[in-house]
Structure 1
């Protein structure tokens, strides 16, 4: 990935800085041999650093704006446009200054009312508790207690509902309503207080009379982190470190579940997804100082200590044109305190990869040794990245990150190191987005993540695995049979079915600094559109030792085919008969996929792949169509979003 986009101020900053530096000074910079020295050199050029002129920007908190959103929300609520009201109340909450505690209490209460009408009772109950904790006015507490009771009724929790109706009656003592209105509310609550014990008792008797239902065995919880026991990391001079398998892997096998070492949302998703876990958020928790990020819960907000050093600087990063990898490079630092890195300082240079592989994903040492291709970089490349490291460091300095003198060059050097390793090891985090339930959908880039194990998977233009995301965690599944002793490869972008070999190789060489020699490149496989559907590529089974491919016309009258290499005959009758079954399987898998029966659809796709693997040799159209179906199914288990129109 590039470090910046051309529509931000950083490009101009780079160009100006380069012009203002004497060539002799630049030559001195080019001779430096460590990231810490490079950063220290540029950071000492005060004329360069001063040019940044950074200052925190706290945008979005405005009392007048919050009141406007509140009024719009109230009008939508009166029209019974609950989703519209919820959207305005969210905007009101985001714009409300942190000092206006009672204003927040009111908006939490209003939002809980919209959620109640949307039958999102658990979310409504959480907002009711938030309103209470923010000192909701005592004279209005009866509203919250009555709504709380109604939410519990909606959840069929009659015991809790009864308790809340009793609290409603007590809260009415503090209200300032006209006597007639107050008496009506009290009568309504008293009716429920009389009825609910009878309902509770009746439910108890009914429960005793019922035969105990057979409880289905609970599925084991999905682990946060999982690596298939067959996977291991090998290393060669040509391939570097890469994933292989000790045993045969079947299609649709989950080989990896992994949380990121670091992850960052794109700007356009910073107010729709949780900044910590990347879940879509309908009822946000916001930062008390800025309106640039949201969280799905108080728990995620509490665990996002990195934001205290990024708060107020995100608008600057976005306006600079800095790529998402730059933000990730910064967060690799902000998610840990300064003293954490200072303790690692003496050992980072002597790390051994085999030892770091055993560390947890949040340990910086786990990712420090990932490839940077430092030896292939030009002085100009280092110069631009060091300038970006200076920009990121300015955010740390102004944000109060540093507590120790003389640590700035070391941390700045880590920022520069991070910018290099992320270029080749970061992954795009995606979400399957649909206009409606019947839409096929598109996989959309919403953020970036660094996955220590996944980063070690090498590339193939004909990959053996596919990946999808649950929040910001990645799941990797196989899409073909992978034999023991083989590389387990993923794909870095260009797929052979869609992009020509020359274009693929140029892209990979420019972006990742290697020339691809995968099977599809070595054998010059055709793109999908160029595959001949009238030719079948059969395996030669003569003696079980011949690797020749028998190219058979789809319309053939002979069933014994002579191999020109081993001289043996192959009986293709069995293969042709088994291939007839794949047409029905594909139709069945497609219908199951469209019906939302994804596990059953996957089973059909796997059955097809196994049949074709027995007799055919890729590239083969039906084989790759089947893989495409399998990949599409797996996306359904990851992040998904269906755009909804507002409704009452």
Structure 2
């Protein structure tokens, strides 16, 4: 794309860079005419959209090679390698490919099922057998293998049925006798056991439904335009909104680790797309919902004698445990042609393609003239000239790819391009990042097993973005750096829950990025302006708060003073907020409904009393002077000391990643922490980070007592920067509780109870689905 940009004449670049949303039809058609005359552009579209140039199509030869590699690894007990080979073979094998008179895909599913059975993954083995049988219903070995898995799972009734079918389809007399012998053994075992059968479920996710009966209203605010507000008083932890996505896409970084439909982490028995090699799914259910065909649809397409050699009436089996699939738009179907553009173009551009295809199908049914009218805000006029040119080019490339590969019935002209440009701009402003909870200590190995309680301890949690989606109604919730609602996801479904008591008429506001406590005011403003093209005016950015004062502050050189010393870059923003402090009574009354957080006036007076004593006309805050006692600190010398100390902390961070921590590294980092504490303010976030790094390091060398103390110190700082019951504190308490459990510290009970209350505040009754690890901590702590 960069090379193509260089070929665009400067006059057209300038015209596009100076354009407004009203000029888009003209500017986009001019650029389109220019690109269509470039051979390089035509070649790029061919590479992206012509199936002849595809790198994402099925390939029988490659599948057979991978199958052979998997077989060799299986025979040498290299099971991880065998699993990878079989799964990759399934990904590239054509659904109609035949190998040794058997459907190749069915054979691969059976081979992988045998591997799963060998390593004790019985439910995975059972599911793969079902998939093989769906494709080849008379596959005797698949019935036999499924029967063996059912026996080990205690499903004796199903096992008897499986072995009877295996016997019926087995052609050799020796094979039939062998199955008959095993069947008799199973019948005897069935009589002598009362073991409960274990049922597997193809559905990758299930959760109880929680009604959302609260009524919200759309309101208009003086600073933020339209937003959402409550029509009644809402208790803390109440579910206020639930929504399915209008369109969704997985992030490129998660394509190999998460299901491309539900976005949950992939299981070992991944399910490939039936037509291309791009997506992986956690179940056949998700594969079908995304637009793929059921495996059973390929029974009559194989054309081998096995397809019709037996009557289907003599056996019964369920092809899918999801009897009531959710009706949804097949979002991957138009991409499922083996072409390259869905794999190469940025995720937000592919998401725009899904929205265009979906809205076009709806337009045909409603006879609307608008290509895609989501009714969402955009920031086209505020973005840079370079970004405007990028949007123009991606819109042209996307429509050309859709038309070339999918037969998209839409003329590519100024009107369609202008609507596509606005759509991409809307996605960049309104799309939500779908996140999953992950333990940062979890290895990616599919075969990981906890060998002891200790292996699961000293863990920490983090939120990892896995997808991007448009939720049309949820886009009406405005931003605040001090939010009163929290968004989370179960599979594809968005849930929004209050994190504090919300009064009638109070705007309900999410955080679009860093919150108070995470970044200082200037960094938050810069992030929001760059990503969303607006200047935040929430209370966290317009009124004084303790967190922004201390987050990056130096301490006073007077050891008896708790005051803050600020740099010039921070002073500018804080001076602006001081001019608004305290605010006019009528405005303050409105904002008191907006947020439940306190201003911490007493704490602010402890660190910045001089600033509060000045009236607005005489306010002059100088860099390097304490805002409490006026003492001066040499900032240049302080920076030099901090940089030197931080070099030792960075060395420790590298050692943590490599898990090779020497005594010298630990000693140097501990001394560096002392320098940081004597130079930075006690509540500076860098001190908390250094404390946390030392806690991690001491865990790795199994000095849990030192780890516990450093973890406590880190949490103490974060509780000042955030609300004491903020979700960030919950994540940190997971670390502390796991360390305490390693020491058999009775205080682990209090830590697990506290983190449970915090997570319940943010996730309500869904907490066990979102943070299952907390249940493990509770069980061990209360043992």
Output the TM-score relative to the length of structure 2: 0.59
Q: Output aligned runs, 1:283-362, within 5 Å.
A: 283-304=269-290, 305-311=330-336, 315-316=340-341, 319=344, 322-336=345-359, 338-342=360-364, 346=368, 348=370
Contact 1:431 1:446 in 2 (8 A): yes
Does 1:198 find its partner at 2:173? no
Runs in 1 of length 4+ with deviation above 6 angstroms? Answer: 531-535, 545-549, 552-555, 586-589, 598-603, 626-629, 631-636, 639-642
SS at structure 2 position matched to 1:233: strand
Contact 1:248 1:484 in 2 (8 A): yes
CA distance in 2: counterparts of 1:515 and 1:309, whole angstroms: 38
SS at structure 2 position matched to 1:489: strand
Output the TM-score relative to the length of structure 1: 0.70
CA distance in 1: counterparts of 2:484 and 2:431, whole angstroms: 19
Once the two structures are TM-superposed, the CA of residue 264 in structure 1 deviates from its matched residue by 0.7
Higher relative contact order (CA 8 A, sep 6+): 1
Does 1:390 find its partner at 2:410? no
CA distance in 1: counterparts of 2:749 and 2:356, whole angstroms: 40
Does 1:638 find its partner at 2:766? no
Q: CA, structure 1 residues 529+68, in 2 after alignment: closer, same or farther (shift >3 Å)?
A: farther
Once the two structures are TM-superposed, the CA of residue 250 in structure 1 deviates from its matched residue by 3.2
2:84 aligned to 83, 87, 90, which one? 87
How many residues align? The count is: 532
Once the two structures are TM-superposed, the CA of residue 227 in structure 1 deviates from its matched residue by 4.8
Q: Output aligned runs, 1:363-442, within 5 Å.
A: 365=373, 368-376=374-382, 381-403=387-409, 406=411, 410-434=415-439, 435-436=441-442, 437-438=456-457, 439-442=459-462
Q: CA, structure 1 residues 120+529, in 2 after alignment: closer, same or farther (shift >3 Å)?
A: farther
The C-alpha deviation readout for 1:209-263, integer Å capped at 9, x for no partner, is xxxxxxxxxxx96349x65514322123531111212233333333222221111
Q: CA, structure 1 residues 126+317, in 2 after alignment: closer, same or farther (shift >3 Å)?
A: closer
CA distance in 2: counterparts of 1:524 and 1:54, whole angstroms: 56
2:183 aligned to 185, 189, 199, which one? 189
CA distance in 1: counterparts of 2:283 and 2:247, whole angstroms: 19
CA distance in 2: counterparts of 1:588 and 1:292, whole angstroms: 34
Once the two structures are TM-superposed, the CA of residue 455 in structure 1 deviates from its matched residue by 1.3
SS at structure 2 position matched to 1:149: helix
Q: CA, structure 1 residues 471+591, in 2 after alignment: closer, same or farther (shift >3 Å)?
A: closer
What's the counterpart of residue 697 of structure 2? Answer: none
1:473 aligned to 493, 500, 517, which one? 493
Which is further off, 325-334 or 97-106? Answer: 97-106
2:37 aligned to 47, 71, 82, which one? 47
CA distance in 1: counterparts of 2:154 and 2:760, whole angstroms: 44
CA distance in 1: counterparts of 2:756 and 2:190, whole angstroms: 55
Gaps of 5+ in 2: 198-205, 291-329, 443-455, 556-560, 564-588, 593-597, 607-718, 742-747, 775-783
CA distance in 1: counterparts of 2:216 and 2:532, whole angstroms: 24
Once the two structures are TM-superposed, the CA of residue 385 in structure 1 deviates from its matched residue by 1.1
Once the two structures are TM-superposed, the CA of residue 327 in structure 1 deviates from its matched residue by 1.8
Q: Which protein has the bigger helix share?
A: 2
Q: CA, structure 1 residues 119+409, in 2 after alignment: closer, same or farther (shift >3 Å)?
A: farther
Contact 2:216 2:229 in 1 (8 A): yes
Once the two structures are TM-superposed, the CA of residue 512 in structure 1 deviates from its matched residue by 1.8
CA distance in 2: counterparts of 1:526 and 1:116, whole angstroms: 58
Contact 2:487 2:495 in 1 (8 A): yes
Once the two structures are TM-superposed, the CA of residue 388 in structure 1 deviates from its matched residue by 0.9
2:508 aligned to 488, 493, 497, which one? 488
Contact 1:433 1:640 in 2 (8 A): no
What's the counterpart of residue 514 of structure 1? Answer: 534
Once the two structures are TM-superposed, the CA of residue 419 in structure 1 deviates from its matched residue by 0.6
CA distance in 1: counterparts of 2:338 and 2:413, whole angstroms: 18
